[in-house]
Structure 1
């Protein structure tokens, strides 16, 4: 029986590569995003390369009706859901001193409430199948390493990790695993839109600064995160649930920059 994966935020970045990876593995994939044109390009690429069956479920995650409809549309097409990947995100880049309530609430709706209810609707289908199911929530290293900006996004990523533990506890006896993935710096469109006070893009400078703090000395590619997601969804990870896996190149557990280390130990670093 061919398995079915439902992936949010699939039009680009981690979501796109995750959808492509599942297609490579023979899954039928239902892909969610606002940009239907980008989803069509994903479908055409996956069909051409892998002969994959791809269902486009375009919509806005701020719309609560979309959450249930995405699951129902997938079930109507293929009769099941085996994997849900809650990847989509939205945020503004500003501090708590300036954020507006409307932006806070939209961020929470897309980044936390939508994943919770997508999980609720997908888990009901998974449990009824009398088979195993997997829900994977994409968090962020920023849930533990706050930068002082994007407060709603950071709060949601912390909430996403707590939600992961709650869902794993709730649905474990239904043979549904729930796992979080916490990426560090990843080369995506969302990591490339940082500006200074004058409107100049400073994303490259910020990336270089983070690389200085990362033992592997670089950002991840979206494909690297997708590989982890696909492995966590596989039977090889069958005893992993109720936890969040760090994929940050060592960033979280490093104390200072490599420039600082070289000042002390130039021969070592």
Structure 2
């Protein structure tokens, strides 16, 4: 009796599945001018001093977090009712499954938005043809980046990503959280000059939020920066400023 021939074929590895930390089925603020859903990807390698959602920093999935296949079912039910889906985080470009998730979402008829801090420039560059809008977080001026993010080399990564986005032709906004503990007037003016040098003419400044002492889950939003600083950003650098 002859022996059965041993198979030499290899079994394909399963595709990675996007790891989510949360899902918001409806938002009017995460993509300006668009009605969207927001998928929050779990994980971020930076440890920004003002981070108000540290639960998304770890790559470990939290108990009760939605699973991507479940979210896909919800999105299919909302096709035609929403303009797009924003992939946020955490840092969504951390996840190797993001490109496939974007392609699957676009196939349902949704536009694609991305929130990113520009942590991985090469991954961001590869994603640009898939995107309809980008919200790029600029954290600090170059000397202050590593201290704020806790990550050496973060300033260089962010600067490269900013250049990629500015030259991509994809609609975008650059936004910065104005936490007074990290950013003074000099830092903001240096950041404004960096933007203007790339031909960027507008900048979204987000007011810092602080937890309310003794009240679980409550946050207090700070007032905008003094008008004098906004005037300098406009008059000296030529940037249109929007406060949120």
Please report the TM-score for the alignment, with normalisation by the length of structure 1. Answer: 0.38
Normalized per residue, the structure richer in strand is: 2
Q: Which has the larger radius of gyration?
A: 2
TM-score (structure 2 length as normaliser): 0.41
